[in-house]
């Protein structure tokens, strides 16, 4: 019996170590706290994020990325006090990547502009352009009924080195790069702030599935690394 419990303990410890390693270097879980990425992502969806992007695998146009607040994008979040038991359980589950207690300190948007890109809106057809190439975003874009412009705000920017221009799919209800030009980051997201690329909805099961980066939307857009 002692050997059984010893082996069981070793299995549990090994599983925890492997889970921690996976979370630290490969994947982790987040939940969606807002509707800024509807209809691609819904509030309270759970997603799995590939942490090899962009550390090992480069970012691409259309990637859905989770990133740390560059400063001033999110309002201060009140600290909630859990009882010791609940806090301990939450911590233990977060260690193995089964919960995401820091989701409220992160944002999730779609990458529209990479370093060196010129991103502008809107052309005569209400489309956004990247390096002069118009984007047909109807596959993921959510707009109010009757609205045809890809952005209610006109803009034209060139993405600096090591920065990204990101936007929400729920375009008229997303505090994205367009609405954060007065913050220290000037609306751009440092690539170093990117935690990873979201690639899977894991919960609820009725919505589980792979997340698309819609490469066809960006056909013809040349990367202008700066």
**Residues designated catalytic:** 36, 109
How many Å from the N-terminal Cα to the C-terminal Cα in the chain?
64
Q: If DSSP codes are grouped into helix, strand and coil, which group holds residue 45? A: coil
Q: Are 177 and 117 in contact (CB under 8 A)?
A: no
Round to whole Å and give the CA distance between 167 and 189. Answer: 11
Structure tokens at 34: 């807002």
Q: How many CB atoms within 10 Å of residue 96? A: 17
Structure tokens at 91: 């911590």
Q: Are 104 and 144 in contact (CB under 8 A)?
A: no
Structure tokens at 131: 């390096």
Q: Are 226 and 160 in contact (CB under 8 A)?
A: yes
């Amino acid at each position: 019996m002692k050997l059984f419990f010893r082996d069981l303990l070793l299995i549990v410890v090994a599983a925890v170590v492997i889970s921690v390693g996976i979370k630290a270097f490969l994947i982790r879980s987040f939940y969606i706290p807002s509707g800024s990425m509807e209809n691609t992502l819904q509030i309270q969806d759970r997603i799995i994020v590939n942490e090899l992007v962009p550390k090992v695998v480069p970012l691409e146009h259309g990637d859905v990325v989770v990133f740390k607040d560059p400063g001033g994008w999110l309002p201060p979040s009140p600290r909630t006090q859990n009882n010791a038991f609940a806090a301990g359980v939450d911590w233990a589950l977060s260690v193995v990547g089964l919960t995401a207690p820091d989701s409220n300190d992160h944002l999730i948007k779609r990458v529209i502009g990479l370093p060196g890109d010129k991103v502008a809106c809107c052309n005569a057809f209400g489309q956004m352009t990247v390096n002069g190439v118009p984007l047909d975003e109807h596959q993921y874009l959510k707009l109010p009924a009757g609205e045809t412009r890809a952005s209610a705000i006109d803009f034209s920017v060139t993405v600096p080195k090591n920065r990204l221009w990101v936007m929400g799919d729920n375009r008229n209800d997303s505090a994205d790069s367009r609405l954060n030009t007065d913050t220290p980051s000037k609306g751009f997201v440092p690539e170093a702030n990117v935690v990873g690329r979201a690639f899977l909805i894991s919960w609820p099961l009725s919505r589980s599935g792979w997340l698309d980066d819609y490469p066809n939307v960006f056909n013809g857009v040349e990367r202008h690394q700066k």
